[in-house]
Chains A and B, each alone.
Chain A
């Protein structure tokens, strides 16, 4: 299941579980929008649980391993329900942006296009920790992508590659970063960039169908799973 939901659920449960004299208070519902997609996910996840019921008949006793699986799924569902409630102000919504800021802080993020930089900065990623490559990281890779490029163009790209690499090294030193995250789209140039970054910087790589359509929740899920 989605790690983000799991983490959100754990966070909420932890908070709810801190009995320091104050009981968890559910606030009065405000107007809001039902997340129908999430609602469907919750129902589907609940239906998955029926298998535990059928397999454990007639006692419904679960051994430890099965019990852990079962409860983990319940916790996930509980987290999802809390998100639904959060949309109506009944529960505090999880601080997605705050978590993104914290989790992304240790990475230098390489991206192929500048328009995706705006998306990331909107999610509260520090713009100084983003490098837009625009080109592959080795000239051979450019030749693979476009074997017919004239020499003059290749020279200019070589220069650009050198700038990008300098930029990467400078920022890693300046911000004391050890981790590189490459986010690319699922196409040839994306694959080549990711592959080379793994080789040069031991980078973690993420390939997506469309970078600009990434949501903050999805990005947090990615960061949480790294």
Chain B
């Protein structure tokens, strides 16, 4: 059998500025690139394993997890295959089929799927209206109270720290306190925050936090992080009766080889980069300002921005698309000419983007390119 050409080459990151928000935080550090090479074989971290991934001493995964726990303010940490697997594991350990969980209205689809796979009912906390789509502590309180009065017992509250649609940063600390006041544990989904901005599970009153290595922690996927408070360790990290050292929710071992090695290699860099979060936010605000000054472009979501993920409504590009022979593809093609990618082909009504990790010069180049395109078709 002769296999087909799978087209396994990718120069997008080398040659272009990629605005796709989910690409920005997962770019490997040079240390991680080297680790990727060293640990590229399937079971490369398992040479000295005595049965538990989290206890491997060469490479020092056990020390790495200690550092990671300290970094995110958790008592225990495990690596998982992604934030979604972390959410699934927590739900599976805490809830029974038919239980109700309270989830914010901006939650990622994988939150819904994890709940569905666990046969849980979702009570949704709505966001406020256009154009903010803000999730407020008050709306969380109202939903928890409603469930108390008219609904079922709530097994878990899940809050999306920063959502992937609008890049709104929620008040985790306040919502965590509200959840606790109602006797409900809080799971904080930090896929878009852990590794970009400071996350402290304890300070946020979160019983659980999940993060994404490939989305925000400069690691090659699939890898995520699940942190938890000590009081939940027996429940979530429960051991198998048949295979005494294996943790059931982790199905024994989770992400091995290159994903965990790259996450480890990048951690020192990630610890440093979250300290520069204010710079990233101010760069984003400046970028939004420049984009809105073009005219016919409006930032959606909470203003001013508190996160690098930006959603723009762009009627100016949609108007151009209506008259352009390439219709909606014109924007993608004009950007591509300028070596900017990450906006979906054909999309002109709105788009999401991020300049996270780019220099100010590169970010200015991006904003100027959008202005140039508008000017060209005026």
Interface residues of A (CB under 8 A from B): 43-44, 47-48, 50-51, 53-55, 57-60
The stretch that binds A, out of B29-37, B107-115, B158-166, B218-226, is B29-37
Check A57–B362 contact: CB distance below 8 A: yes
Q: Give the 10 A-B residue pairs with the shortest CB-CB distance, closest first.
A: A58-B339, A47-B33, A53-B14, A44-B34, A57-B17, A47-B34, A48-B30, A58-B17, A51-B30, A47-B30
Q: Contact: B33 with A57, CB < 8 Å?
A: no
Tell me which residues across on chain A come within 8 A of B279, comparing CB atoms.
none
Cβ contact of A58, chosen from B27, B30, B33, B340, cutoff 8 A: B340
User: Chain B interface (Cβ within 8 Å of chain A)?
Assistant: 13-17, 27, 30, 33-34, 37, 338-340, 359, 362, 365
Determine if A54 and B37 form an interchain contact, defined as CB atoms under 8 angstroms apart.
Answer: no
User: In this complex, what residue of A is CB-closest to B11?
Assistant: A53
What CA separation (Å) do A55 and B14 show in the bound complex? Answer: 9
Q: How far is the CB of B159 from chain A (nearest CB, A)?
A: 33
**A47 engages B37 (CB within 8 Å):** yes
Given A50-B33, A57-B16, A57-B339; 17 other pairs, CB 8 A cutoff = A43-B37, A44-B34, A47-B30, A47-B33, A47-B34, A47-B37, A48-B30, A54-B14, A54-B27, A55-B359, A57-B14, A58-B17, A58-B339, A58-B340, A58-B362, A59-B339, A60-B15
Which residues of B lie under 8 Å from residue A51 when comparing CB positions?
Answer: 30
Q: What are 11 contact pairs spanning A and B, CB under 8 A?
A: A44-B37, A47-B34, A47-B37, A50-B14, A50-B30, A55-B359, A57-B14, A58-B15, A58-B17, A58-B339, A58-B365
Q: CB-nearest residue of chain A relative to B27? A: A54
- Name the A residues within 8 Å of B30 (CB-CB): 47-48, 50-51
The complex places the Cα of A47 from the Cα of B40 at a distance, in Å, of 15
Cα separation A59 to B362 with both chains bound (whole Å): 10
- The answer, among A43, A48, A58, for a CB contact under 8 Å with B16, is A58
Q: How far is the CB of A65 from chain B (nearest CB, A)?
A: 15
A residues near B362, Cβ cutoff 8 Å: 57-58
Residue from the set B13, B17, B33, B359 with the largest chain A CB neighbour count within 10 Å: B33
B359 & A58 in contact (Cβ 8 Å cutoff): no
Residues of A contacting B338 in the complex (Cβ-Cβ under 8 angstroms): 58
CA distance A47 to B365 in the complex (A): 26
Q: A41: shortest Cβ distance to chain B, in Å?
A: 11
CB distance from B14 to the nearest CB of A (A): 5
A104–B305 alpha-carbon span in the complex (Å): 63
Say how far A190's CB is from chain B's closest CB, in angstroms: 30
> CA A44 – CA B265 in complex, angstroms?
14
The contact of B15 among A43, A55, A57, by CB within 8 Å, is: A57
Q: Which residues of chain B are within 8 angstroms of A60 by Cβ–Cβ distance?
A: 15
Interchain CA distance A58-B368 in the complex, whole Å = 13
Q: For A50, list chain B residues within 8 Å (CB).
A: 14, 30, 33
In the complex, residue of chain A having the shortest beta-carbon distance to the beta carbon of B38: A40
For residue A57, give the distance in angstroms from its CB to the closest CB of chain B: 5
- Determine how close the nearest CB of chain A comes to the CB of B337; give it in whole angstroms: 10
**In the bound complex, how far is the Cα of B33 from the Cα of A51, in angstroms?**
11
A189 to B269 CA separation, bound complex (whole angstroms): 38
Determine the distance from Cα of A60 to Cα of B339 in the docked complex, in whole angstroms.
Answer: 11
Chain A residues with Cβ below 8 Å from B34 are 43-44, 47
B340 proximity list for chain A (CB < 8 A): 58
CB closest residue in chain B, given A49: B30
Q: Compute how far the CA of A43 lies from the CA of B34 in the bound complex, rounded to whole angstroms.
A: 8
